[in-house]
């Protein structure tokens, strides 16, 4: 059984700069972890009413409810487990990839999903306080037409790298400049988790295996943050980016960590930086018929191809989950950082699978 637990985190080193709130920066972290079986427990309700409404009137939660089954406050299994940090998309929420996070928990990982307050669709604290997204921040996202123009061009990786740099300079400065705020949330979360592992009485006391570092993954802007962590944070040992454009002031900085870049066709031109500035394996997966939101649990809930793509939802998310597990098993659990062979995952849903 997969256990889940949400905690509040306060960063005593930073003041809140959004939403007119005074005081220290606050956010939440939802954990997914290997839990001890408890047949009497009922599954947790991870999707609030407001989140369900976002899925539209034609949303069908049957498949989601069958696959995503987590249980609040289960006792954690015996042993120590590697840690994976997850970040949601811009305007997403901590539970948006619960299918993936619970799958990884079943495979023996502890996953910590950070809710970036005011930029998550909503952040719900343990006392019941709800902070919705700040609309003024959401408006800073890149304009649609220039984004589509770049996405639809048939470019070589080299050409795409140049075009994306010009695009970021003109339209994506906010995304590049603001990235540090998300990284600071994640770093505070990692500090807090390490303190919990050293605090007797904490449910994480002596439960995390840090021997091979920390893995990181995320969707969209959260995936962009995962890439930045690989470049900048020593305790991060490997990372995955699910369909996030690589915004940031990276210059000539080289990635020294194993990395997996996952995309749909329309985002290929936004991610080519990872092909050039690295000295460890880069695994590249392009899904045949996926759209941007198809990399989240919406793939299990919505039927609109323009939103989630035409790929079969079970095939698509099984492939996504297995790719994560194969990647983290190799580079986080086993720390086999010199292995450049393809990962052992199914390829039916993939258009491109290669190691660079």
Q: Three-state secondary structure along 138-149?
A: HCCCCCHHHHHH
Dist CA 216 CA 202 (whole Å): 23
Q: Is the pTM of this model over 0.85?
A: yes
* Contact by Cβ (8 Å): 205, 33: no
Three-point CA angle 166, 164, 342, nearest 5° = 160
Tell me the torsion sign for CA atoms 289, 317, 81, 330: negative
DSSP assignment string, 156-225? -HHHHHHHHHHHHHHH-HHHHHHHHHHHHHHHHHHHHHHHHHTSTTSTTTT-B--TT-EEEEEETHHHHH
Dist CA 343 CA 104 (whole Å): 16
Question: What pLDDT is stored for residue 336 in this prediction?
Answer: 94
Count Cβ atoms below 10 Å from residue 56 Cβ, excluding itself.
13
Question: What pLDDT is stored for residue 141 in this prediction?
Answer: 66
Question: What pLDDT is stored for residue 193 in this prediction?
Answer: 98
Residue 137 CB-density burial (10 A; 0-12 exposed, 13-18 middle, 19+ buried)? middle
Three-point CA angle 171, 299, 4, nearest 5° = 100
Chain-centre distance for alpha carbon 149: 26
In what helix (H) or strand (E) does residue 7 lie, and over which residues does it extend?
A: strand 2-15
Dist CA 356 CA 353 (whole Å): 10
Backbone angles phi, psi at 201, to 5 degrees: 100, -20
Question: What pLDDT is stored for residue 140 in this prediction?
Answer: 65
Dist CA 186 CA 51 (whole Å): 23
Cα-based distances in Å from 134 to 10, 123, 338: 19, 11, 43
Question: What pLDDT is stored for residue 53 in this prediction?
Answer: 86
Under DSSP, is residue 245 helix (H, G, I), strand (E, B) or coil?
coil
Question: What pLDDT is stored for residue 138 in this prediction?
Answer: 64
Tell me the pairing of strands 2-15 and 24-34: antiparallel
* Contact by Cβ (8 Å): 229, 188: no
Dist CA 88 CA 111 (whole Å): 13
Backbone angles phi, psi at 223, to 5 degrees: -70, -35
Dist CA 155 CA 242 (whole Å): 21
Question: What pLDDT is stored for residue 137 in this prediction?
Answer: 75
Question: What pLDDT is stored for residue 154 in this prediction?
Answer: 95
Per-residue pLDDT of the chain (356 residues; tens, 9 = 90+): 999 999 999 999 999 988 888 899 999 999 999 999 999 999 999 999 988 988 888 899 999 999 999 999 999 999 999 999 999 999 999 999 999 999 999 999 999 999 999 999 999 999 999 999 988 876 666 677 899 999 999 999 999 999 999 999 999 999 999 999 999 999 999 999 999 999 999 999 999 999 999 999 999 999 999 999 999 999 999 999 999 999 999 999 999 999 999 999 999 999 999 999 999 999 999 999 999 999 999 999 999 999 999 999 999 999 999 999 999 999 999 999 989 899 999 899 999 998 87
Question: What pLDDT is stored for residue 340 in this prediction?
Answer: 87
CA end-to-end span of the chain: 37
Residue with tokens 């790298």: 161
* Contact by Cβ (8 Å): 246, 270: yes
Residue with tokens 């409404």: 53
Query: What structural domains does the chain harbor?
Result: 2-139+178-355 (3.40.50.1820)
Question: What pLDDT is stored for residue 178 in this prediction?
Answer: 93
Dist CA 7 CA 30 (whole Å): 7
Residues whose CB is less than 8 angstroms from the CB of residue 187 and which lie 6 or more positions away in sequence, other chains included: 233
Dist CA 96 CA 101 (whole Å): 9
């Amino acid at each position: 059984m997969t256990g889940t637990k949400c905690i509040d985190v306060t960063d005593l080193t930073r003041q809140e700069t959004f939403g007119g709130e005074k005081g220290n920066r606050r956010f939440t972290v939802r954990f997914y972890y290997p839990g001890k079986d408890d047949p009497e427990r009922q599954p947790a309700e991870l999707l609030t009413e407001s989140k369900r409404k976002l899925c539209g009137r034609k949303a069908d939660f049957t498949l989601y409810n069958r696959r995503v089954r987590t249980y609040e406050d289960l006792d954690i299994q015996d042993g120590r487990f590697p840690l994976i940090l997850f970040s949601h998309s811009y305007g997403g929420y901590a539970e948006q990839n619960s299918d993936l996070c619970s799958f990884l928990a079943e495979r023996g990982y502890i996953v910590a999903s950070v809710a970036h307050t005011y930029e998550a669709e909503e952040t719900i604290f343990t006392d019941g306080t709800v902070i919705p997204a700040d609309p003024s921040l959401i408006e800073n996202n890149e304009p649609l037409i220039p984004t589509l123009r770049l996405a639809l061009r048939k470019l070589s990786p080299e050409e795409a790298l140049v075009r994306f740099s010009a695009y970021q300079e003109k339209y994506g400065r906010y995304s590049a400049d603001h990235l540090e705020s998300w990284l600071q949330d994640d770093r505070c979360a990692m500090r807090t988790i390490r303190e919990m592992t050293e605090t007797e009485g904490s449910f994480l006391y002596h439960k995390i295996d840090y021997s091979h570092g920390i893995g990181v993954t995320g969707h969209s802007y959260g995936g962009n943050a995962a890439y930045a962590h690989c470049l900048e944070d020593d305790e991060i040992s490997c990372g995955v980016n699910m369909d996030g454009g690589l915004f940031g002031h990276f210059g000539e900085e080289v990635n020294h960590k194993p990395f997996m870049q996952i995309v749909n066709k329309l985002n290929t031109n936004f991610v080519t930086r990872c092909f050039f500035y690295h000295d460890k394996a880069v695994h590249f997966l392009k899904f045949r018929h996926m759209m941007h939101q198809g990399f989240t649990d919406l793939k299990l809930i919505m039927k609109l191809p323009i939103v989630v793509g035409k790929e079969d939802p079970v095939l698509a998310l099984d492939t996504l989950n297995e790719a994560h597990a194969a990647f983290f098993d190799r580079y986080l659990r086993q720390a086999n950082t010199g292995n450049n062979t393809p990962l052992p995952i199914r390829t039916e849903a993939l258009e491109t699978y290669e190691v660079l």
